[in-house]
Structure 1
Amino acid sequence: MADVLINARIFGAGVNFSGQSNKVEFTVEADEADATVFEPDNPADAGWKARRATVLDFKAAFSGHWFAGDPSKVDDALWSGLGAVDVWTFVKGTGAVGDLAWSGQTLESKYSFLGDHGKLAPFDASLAGSGPLVRGRVAHPHTVVRSAAGTGDDLVFAAGIPAGQHLYAALHVFSVGGTGVPALSVIVESDDNPGFTTPVQRLAFAPATAAQTGQLLRAAGPVTDTHYRVRWTVTGGTPSFLFAATLGVAPA
């Protein structure tokens, strides 16, 4: 039975667009090259076209209801981001830990908005990939406010990080509150057991002091550890942070 798309989350440019959007779609494709030869390895293939994939590409598009007036609104964020490359994450689900997520760097290539008289004002945005699209899972939910140091839930990658593959991590910071200079520092660590008795730091994001464009980091395999999580520390007076993180494994 086909799934019904009711819950999805869209993060980019330091903004959670989920409450302003109602459509999202991906296209992932490989460029085709003609690999036909006079004498193929299998003689039975003679006279037939042969093709090979060269480079991969992805595009994303999302749309919904137009809002403006502050940096968290569609118009403010997409207008200022037009033509820029940023990290975007799309989640199938509510954004809970373990939900499927796709993260990657994209160029914001198109933004269209407004429409017919008497109807809700719409918008459409198009994104073109600039690098790999990483299929992974949510490692930290965007709905939980953090005001103290902590660790995220354990995500299991049964094959670890094989040779030729990379561990990828994406971080989106939506809001920062507090006095002084509140800062959020997030790392990714791994271990060979769910208790994380001997954790190893694999990645470290730059500290965040304000809502910001996303960060995407990677670390090369092979890594035999199968358990992964995010860990964070906070500084500042009465700090408060909303952020989301994803982890995935993909080629370079």
Structure 2
Amino acid sequence: MRLIVTVCVAAMLSLAPAIAGTLLEPALHLPKAQSSVPRVAVTLDACSGDIDHRILDVIISENIPVTLFVTERWLLVNAETVAVLARRPDLFNIENHGRNHVPAVTGTEKPYGITPAGTLAAVDDEVLGGAQAIIASFGTKPGWFRGATALYTQDALDEIGRLGFRVAGFSLNADYGATASAAAAEAQIRKAKDGDVIIAHINQPKRAAGEGIARGLMELKRSGYQFVRLGDL
């Protein structure tokens, strides 16, 4: 079971207490646009593995500002892509996805079957290790954290806040962990409304979802959407 809690970035992060046997899945929305132009935040996770050039190349060619959540283990094996990202700070806001993609969950419950951090000390290592890797690679300090699986226990959320990070939830899941078909991923992105924070993955070049994400981003651009990076809020 999971408890979904909605957070507006214009307000202080406030989450309801966890219920025994549940995990929290914070939602995140942008403040309403001050004009008729719809605004969305595209957030792309790089958990491990490679880079999906279908998505990356569209971002660069179409000048679409995005927020990337990267892990240390992804950074360590993608030096060429890291150099590309570092050359375009106007497009890429680099934020913290942890050291080793370990869920920020205390106890023994395994979100999506993934072994959790287990203790607050391990949560600290995951969060601070990811932040240190970003500083080493880009010279910038992240302000947002998104844990592996985007599920948390309440004490882990409290600890992440104590460490000085805001938790990046989302309101629109575009690729369901990169398992969606190209058509389904594109259709999800086309559903985006003003204020949506979109989550997808940019580290799965061999999966069909990436093609749909790329097409969906181009469609939003053609439709006149404004793209907002979380780090600029």
Q: Judging by fraction of residues, say which structure has more strand.
A: 1
Q: Which has the higher contact order (CA 8 A, sep 6+)?
A: 2
Q: Judging by fraction of residues, say which structure has more helix.
A: 2
TM-score, with length taken from structure 1: 0.25
TM-score, with length taken from structure 2: 0.26
State which structure, 1 or 2, has the greater radius of gyration over its C-alpha atoms.
1
